[in-house]
Amino acid sequence: MASSFSRKPHRNRLRRVPERAFALLLFLTLFSCMLRCTECVSSSNMILIVTDDLDVELGGMTPLKKTKALIGEAGVTFSHAPFHLGFFFCGVKYTATPLCCPSRSSILTGKYPHNHMVHNNSLSGNCSSRAWQAGPEMQAFPVYLSKKYYQTFYGGKYLNQYGMNETGGVGHVPPGWDQWHVLVGNSQYYNYTLSVNGKAEVHKDNYEKDYLTDLILNRSLNFLESRSPQHPFFIMLCPPAPHSPWTAAPAYQNSFTDVKAPRDGSFNKPGKDKHWLLRQPVNPMPNSSINYLDNAFRKRWQTLLSVDDMVEKLVKKLEELKELDSTYIFFTSDNGYHTGQFSLPIDKRQLYEFDIHLPLLVRGPGIKPNQTLQAPVMNIDLPMTILDIAGVNISALDMDGQSFLPQIAPSLRNGTSRPYFLVEYTGEGHFTKDPDCPKLGPGVSQCFPDCVCEDAFNNTYACVRAFKDNNLQYCEFADDEAFVEVYNLTADPHQLENIVKKVDPTLLQAMNQKLIKLQSCKGDSCRNL
Ligand SMILES: *[C@@H]1O[C@H](CO)[C@@H](O)[C@H](O)[C@H]1NC(C)=O
Ligand SMILES: *[C@@H]1O[C@H](CO)[C@@H](O)[C@H](O)[C@H]1NC(C)=O
Ligand SMILES: *[C@@H]1O[C@H](CO)[C@@H](O)[C@H](O)[C@H]1NC(C)=O
Ligand SMILES: *[C@@H]1O[C@H](CO)[C@@H](O)[C@H](O)[C@H]1NC(C)=O
Ligand SMILES: *[C@@H]1O[C@H](CO)[C@@H](O)[C@H](O)[C@H]1NC(C)=O
Ligand SMILES: *[C@@H]1O[C@H](CO)[C@@H](O)[C@H](O)[C@H]1NC(C)=O
Ligand SMILES: *[C@@H]1O[C@H](CO)[C@@H](O)[C@H](O)[C@H]1NC(C)=O
Ligand SMILES: *[C@@H]1O[C@H](CO)[C@@H](O)[C@H](O)[C@H]1NC(C)=O
Ligand SMILES: *[C@@H]1O[C@H](CO)[C@@H](O)[C@H](O)[C@H]1NC(C)=O
Ligand SMILES: *[C@@H]1O[C@H](CO)[C@@H](O)[C@H](O)[C@H]1NC(C)=O
Ligand SMILES: *[C@@H]1O[C@H](CO)[C@@H](O)[C@H](O)[C@H]1NC(C)=O
């Protein structure tokens, strides 16, 4: 009774003086607009999607048709947008290191591995370790975004060792994140535990309730609906796809039945003049290996169809909320992948283009449609670019990357791209012999069918990847042979021939000098080459 009594006169008052209500509404609108404009330097929202193990060289973007169209040709789909709001950038993007935890640590900190000190996927290699939490994580990009009043959301895989009891368990929520829906451990599609803002949430394997790619999308849509519109938002979504165990959504488990891994380039070629690990596999590969990798290839694509749905639903929601024109969307991966290249069944962790070259699509304000850029950018550039958009003074940051806003939106920023950069990797191994492959000694890991091991402690290398005048890659191994590999990517895009013995020694010396400098670079010295 009381409530209906109190509501009635309120309605009457409004009906009698609608002009007063209108004035109030106008005031509130202006006030919220003022808030938005004074407090927040930037009003651009951002979404960063980081897939797990998605390649670009083997056609990894092929199943992502809606992603390519919606991030790529949105100018057409949403034609009400003014012409200066552009939409597409398809760049040449590299990872500073081809392994999940070190690469994700680079994406968060803008640092090369030698500066964030995360060397492998283990706690002992600093993956989500106490040292990481006390150091690099405190200076990761979300910290600066939140200082600029961004509302932030993270959903999905974070770092491979996140949520371990030794390091604070699910109660550890890194600084800068307002909403935290993050997977404990490595990629899973079902039967996982999430940290939901510091509380454990256990999931089983019911598709409607638990499928991780869909779940993080749903939570991000809730975040978009319930957030306070005065502040810009930043959403980071890290689906498990297309990482193993390659569990597709029920609707997609019969897709791509005829698809096989591509047979071109270096597929099933011997790695004869390459470092010792590449000289091990039997060539040509046995059928068992080929069947195994074809199956993995197909299942990877199946899991990506849910990622494609994710992008579509996000874009639709942004359009519904009238936020699409003020939102940048970045779509990328942590490292590349190979299936049969140089007779290696499946993995990443190698220096070749298939493992270090990644997809990158960006749409957003100031980006011209349908651009394909040749200037290389890196994963360490993502935080600098994001913070540049957010209006942070990026020259004051302790990061090794550089903003690529000048490359994607020259109307907003001037700047040049770097002529060369570093790729560095610390090999993983086991101290004991692999029981399935007793012929192999200790020190190796990632052994796939037919005992082809794809990593080892001495698969530790550093490379200079140069562009412009010399489209070259120069790599040195920390192994017993001090092995060197050199490729001319112009003449030999599939890296079939190691030209170390043919190339002019003065060029080798110059590359070696560049490598030494890059391996100890920090901040400006990584950029001003
Ligand atoms: C982008 O390029 C595609 C293919 O050339 C074309 O169909 C589309 O209209 C272009 N989109 C924009 C926004 O220019
Ligand atoms: C882990 O990182 C800390 C600094 O964050 C560093 O002192 C330590 O040496 C690193 N550990 C390894 C194994 O690199
Ligand atoms: C952490 O400890 C709890 C309680 O002992 C246990 O249930 C859980 O499985 C542990 N989590 C991990 C990731 O080891
Ligand atoms: C999830 O765990 C249950 C219980 O251990 C198991 O029966 C089921 O097969 C698992 N589901 C998946 C998709 O791995
Ligand atoms: C996500 O939301 C859709 C639409 O409401 C629903 O059908 C689906 O079951 C949800 N999935 C998960 C894993 O929450
Ligand atoms: C391996 O597969 C190829 C092509 O399918 C086939 O021709 C060949 O007979 C198979 N070899 C063996 C040993 O099964
Ligand atoms: C940005 O930071 C640099 C380096 O700390 C400083 O020299 C410069 O004055 C700052 N610029 C602004 C606009 O605050
Ligand atoms: C870029 O540099 C040119 C030439 O110096 C200048 O005219 C232009 O205003 C600059 N653009 C931006 C976005 O700073
Ligand atoms: C990860 O790095 C640490 C520190 O270098 C090392 O002790 C550990 O053996 C490495 N883990 C693997 C699996 O290689
Ligand atoms: C690399 O390490 C493996 C395993 O410990 C060893 O068998 C091999 O000889 C080493 N190769 C080189 C070139 O250092
Ligand atoms: C790389 O190949 C291109 C094209 O064949 C050639 O012009 C260039 O001289 C080569 N560079 C080196 C360093 O061999």
Q: What does the domain layout of the chain look like in residue ranges?
A: 43-409, 438-527
Confidence category of residue 329, pLDDT binned at 50, 70, 90? very high
What's the gap in Å between 417 CA and the centre of ligand 7? 21
Beta-sheet pairing, 461-466 with 420-425: antiparallel
Looking at residue 332, what is its pLDDT?
93
Q: CA–CA separation, 487 vs 500, rounded Å? A: 8
Using the atom order of ligand 5, give the atom closest to the CA of residue 209: 13
User: Does residue 182 carry a pLDDT above 50?
Assistant: yes
User: What residues are labeled active site?
Assistant: 100
Cα-Cα-Cα-Cα dihedral of 475, 485, 121, 234, to 10°? 60
Mind listing the pLDDT tens digit for each residue in 126-156?
Answer: 999 999 999 999 999 999 999 999 999 999 9
Using a 6 Å cutoff on CB, does residue 117 contact ligand 9? no
Mean pLDDT of all residues in 424-429: 97
Do the Cβ atoms of 53 and 337 come closer than 8 Å?
yes
Do the Cβ atoms of 233 and 221 come closer than 8 Å?
no
Mean pLDDT of all residues in 490-506: 97
Ligand nearest to the CA of 246: 4
Q: Give the distance from CA 395 to its chain's centroid.
A: 23
Given this chain, do its domains 43-409 and 438-527 carry the same CATH topology?
Answer: no
User: Does residue 87 carry a pLDDT above 70?
Assistant: no
Confidence category of residue 21, pLDDT binned at 50, 70, 90? low
Q: Which of 474, 471, 470 is nearest to 514 (CA)?
A: 474
DSSP state of 35: H
Using the atom order of ligand 2, give the atom closest to the CA of residue 131: 5
Q: CA–CA separation, 116 vs 343, rounded Å? A: 33
Q: CA–CA separation, 34 vs 366, rounded Å? A: 23
Q: 43-409, which class in CATH?
A: alpha beta
What's the gap in Å between 218 CA and the centre of ligand 5? 6
Confidence category of residue 374, pLDDT binned at 50, 70, 90? confident
Residue bearing the bigger pLDDT, 74 or 261? 261
* Nearest Cα residue to atom 11 of ligand 1: 73
Ligand nearest to the CA of 497: 11
Using the atom order of ligand 3, give the atom closest to the CA of residue 185: 13
If you average pLDDT over every residue of the chain, what do you get?
89
**438-527 is classed in which CATH architecture?**
2-Layer Sandwich (3.30)
Q: CA–CA separation, 305 vs 65, rounded Å? A: 9
Residue ranges around ligand 5 (CB below 6 Å): 208-211, 214-215, 218
pTM for this entry: 0.91
Looking at residue 368, what is its pLDDT?
79
Looking at residue 77, what is its pLDDT?
27
- For the chain, give the percent of residues with pLDDT over 90: 78
Looking at residue 57, what is its pLDDT?
93
Residue ranges around ligand 2 (CB below 6 Å): 117, 119, 125-126, 131, 135
Do the Cβ atoms of 336 and 355 come closer than 8 Å?
yes
Amino acid at 529: L
Do the Cβ atoms of 44 and 412 come closer than 8 Å?
no
Amino acid at 436: D
Question: Phi and psi (nearest 5°) for 146?
Answer: -70, -30
What's the gap in Å between 374 CA and the centre of ligand 10? 37
Q: CA–CA separation, 320 vs 312, rounded Å? A: 12
Confidence category of residue 369, pLDDT binned at 50, 70, 90? confident
Ligand nearest to the CA of 396: 7
Using the atom order of ligand 10, give the atom closest to the CA of residue 458: 1
- Compute and round to an integer the Cα radius of gyration of the chain: 25
Question: Phi and psi (nearest 5°) for 253?
Answer: -70, -10
* Nearest Cα residue to atom 14 of ligand 5: 215
User: Does residue 250 carry a pLDDT above 60?
Assistant: yes
Q: Is 240 exposed, middle or buried (0-12, 13-18, 19+ CB in 10 A)?
A: buried
Using a 6 Å cutoff on CB, does residue 412 contact ligand 8? yes
* Nearest Cα residue to atom 8 of ligand 8: 414
* Nearest Cα residue to atom 3 of ligand 7: 396
Amino acid at 344: L
Angstrom distances, CA of residue 520 to CA of 91, 117, 475, 524: 27, 12, 16, 12
Using a 6 Å cutoff on CB, does residue 119 contact ligand 9? yes
Question: Phi and psi (nearest 5°) for 129?
Answer: -80, 175
Angstrom distances, CA of residue 251 to CA of 212, 248, 354, 355: 15, 8, 29, 29
What's the gap in Å between 240 CA and the centre of ligand 4? 17
- For the chain, give the percent of residues with pLDDT over 70: 88
Q: Is 23 exposed, middle or buried (0-12, 13-18, 19+ CB in 10 A)?
A: exposed
Looking at residue 443, what is its pLDDT?
94
